[in-house]
Amino acid sequence: MTKRTDKGTTRIGYINTHGQKNLGRTEPQRAGTDHCQYVYILQCSKCGHKYGSNGSDIFQRKCPSCQGGRTGHNNIKNQNENSKNTMEKSKMRLPRCLTGT
Ligand SMILES: [Zn+2]
């Protein structure tokens, strides 16, 4: 088994070398595009842009708005608009490795 990639980058308040600050996991929690990764919300300390990122990408993430980084998970935008229904659905879609802990 591989070790979990927890080097403190997934803690709230972590700021990477590009000035991207970790604001914590999305609520409701979502699975990222990487295997067994949650989506975290990052905020650029330079322009204030918020976007989603895989937990495993946080340490190297660049701002998609002002640093030419990859576009973030745009699904964090809608998270307040679709209320409970989405929350339950997205929980059910989480892979077992995320829900079974
Ligand atoms: Zn920025």
**Stretches in the chain below the pLDDT threshold 70:** 1-6, 29-31, 34-35, 74-93, 99-101
Instruction: Show me where the domains of the chain are located.
Output: 20-93
**DSSP assigned state of 52:** E
Torsion of CA 30, 33, 38, 43, to 10 degrees: -90
CA dihedral sign of residues 70, 76, 81, 86: positive
Q: How far is the CA of 18 from the centre of ligand 1 (A)?
A: 9
58 φ/ψ angles, rounded to the nearest 5 degrees: -55, -40
Residue ranges near ligand 1 (ion) with Cβ within 5 Å: 44, 46-47, 49, 63, 65-66
Contact of 21 with 66, CB cutoff 8 Å: no
**DSSP assigned state of 15:** B
**pLDDT value of residue 82:** 45
**pLDDT value of residue 71:** 85
Q: How far is the CA of 89 from the centre of ligand 1 (A)?
A: 31
Token pair in block for residue 42: 């990052």
Distance CA 44, CA 95 (A): 29
Q: How far is the CA of 87 from the centre of ligand 1 (A)?
A: 28
**pLDDT value of residue 13:** 97
